[in-house]
Structures are given as C-alpha cells and as structure tokens.
Amino acid sequence: MFHKEGYKILGFSLLAFLIINILSYSFIDILWLQSAVLIITAVLFLLVVQFFRNPQRKTVINDSTIVSPVDGKVVVIEEVFEKEFFKEKRLQVSVFMSPINVHVTRYPVNGVVTYSKYHPGKYLVAWHPKSSEENERTTVVVKNKAFGEILYRQVAGALAKRIVNYAKVNDKAVQGDDSGFIKFGSRVDLYLPLNTKLNIKLNEKVKGGVSVIAKQ
C-alpha cells in the first residue's frame, strides 16, 4: 500500500524511467550499457516505491499510552525548555528517520488538536541540535485525557523538502491514524510532561503507531 503523497511522484518517476530506457534502447547499441541503464533506473524506482510505502499498522488504542508517531531510531531523550507552546521545561523524545524508513506521521495519542502551526526554515541535517528550532517544521499539540497536552513536531532534514501536516485545530486525533508525511530524511520530536514514564531507551528502534513510547 502506498501513501497518497507518493502517487504523483511514483507516476512521474515511472514515466521518466520508461522514457530513459526507450531512449537507451533506441540510441545505444552496446548491450551491457543498455542493461546498466535498465538496472540503475529499476533500482531507483524501487527506492522511490519503498519510500512511499504505507504499511497497515494495528495500533492498540489506549488513552494511557503514547505511541511513536513515526518509524526510526530514538536519538534524543532529555529535558529541554520548549519555547513555542508550553514555554516551560518538557521531556523531549526525538525519533530520527533515515530515507529507508516509512515516513508516515501518525497521531501518538487520542484527543483533540488544540494547536497546529507550520514554520518555514532551514534544512540542517535532522540530527543537528538546532534543527528542532531552525529547520522547516510543523508543530501540533493534542490534548489527551491521561497526559494532558502532548506536542509533536515534524522536522525537515537536509534532504526533506516538503512536510505535509493534516492536523487542524479542533480535529479529533485518533491514536495511530495518519496525521502527515515528511518527504525524505527527517525527524519527529515529542514534548512530554517531565514526570512521564518512558517505555523506550536511547538508540532503540521504534515503529510508528505500534511502539509504546510512554505509559501512565
């Protein structure tokens, strides 16, 4: 299953690679060179296909848990001062996505969207300490019964040139449902209450909509 954000790119990529191969077979008489063009374009198309895959995830919906919003590796667990919305100290958990990860963003909790804002910015590498504040990003806050307001932030990386955010203020957030997409390498930051009991460790690999980040 493919994410809807990839349909146009998949179509254009397939058309472009077909044209390249037709031209290759029309104007190149060297068999091994024709084969090389075919193999390279096939590999590139498979990379595009895997990037836009959208596997079905069976989220165990629970108001007392926070699930990972994305696939990737936990690269940050620390107390920070969140400047944009809370303006107080929060526990930050960041998940880094490589280009081979599924890039669908999912709601980490049930609740109601109370804040949603897009910020244009730079394209520092996603693991850069200042990427959360200086890169292109979107900030979404969901009010949950058990945890109160939970903030998650989609952060563009050096390769990510478009962030898609579907969350709008007053929307009903359903844990594990699709809430956005980031094209190419990037990260998502969660800002949780300081007393949150985490269920993950640094460098642990997590799955969006499945891995439990925290429990009440």
pLDDT digit string, tens, across residues 146-180: 999 999 999 886 555 578 899 999 999 999 999 99
* pLDDT computed for residue 53 by the predictor: 79
| 141-145, 159-163, 187-191: least confidently modelled range | 159-163
Mean pLDDT for all residues in the chain: 88
* pLDDT computed for residue 84 by the predictor: 94
Residue 16 lies in a domain: yes
Let me know whether 75 and 46 are in one domain. no
Higher pLDDT, 211 or 45: 211
Let me know whether 87 and 174 are in one domain. yes
> Is the pLDDT reported for residue 97 higher than 80?
yes
For CA atoms 158, 206, 190, 93, the dihedral sign is negative
> pTM to 2 decimals?
0.81
Residue 56 lies in a domain: no
Can you tell me the distance from the alpha carbon of 43 to that of 135, in angstroms, rounded to the nearest whole number?
30
Q: Are 168 and 158 in contact (CB under 8 A)?
A: no
> Could you tell me the CATH number of the domain that includes residue 100?
2.70.70
Q: What percent of the chain is predicted at pLDDT more than 90?
A: 61
- pLDDT tens-digit profile of 60-95? 999 999 999 999 999 999 999 999 999 999 999 999
Residue 59 lies in a domain: no
- pLDDT tens-digit profile of 42-55? 998 887 777 777 78
* pLDDT computed for residue 109 by the predictor: 97
Can you tell me the distance from the alpha carbon of 109 to that of 148, in angstroms, rounded to the nearest whole number?
10
Burial 175-211 (b: 16+ CB within 10 A, else e): bbebbbbbbbbbbbbbbbeeebeebbeeeeebbbbeb
Let me know whether 153 and 179 are in one domain. yes
Host H or E run for residue 151: strand 148-156
Task: Give the number of domains in the chain.
Answer: 2
> Domain range spanning residue 174?
65-215
Q: How far is CA 136 from the centre of its chain?
A: 13
Residue 58 lies in a domain: no
Let me know whether 149 and 47 are in one domain. no
Let me know whether 116 and 155 are in one domain. yes
The mean pLDDT of 190-215, rounded to a whole number, is 96
Let me know whether 91 and 46 are in one domain. no
Known catalytic membership, residue 186:
yes
Tell me which of 13, 116, 186, 211 is the catalytic residue.
186
Q: Which long-range contacts (CB under 8 A, 24 or more apart) does 36-44 make?
A: 41/17, 42/17, 44/13, 44/17
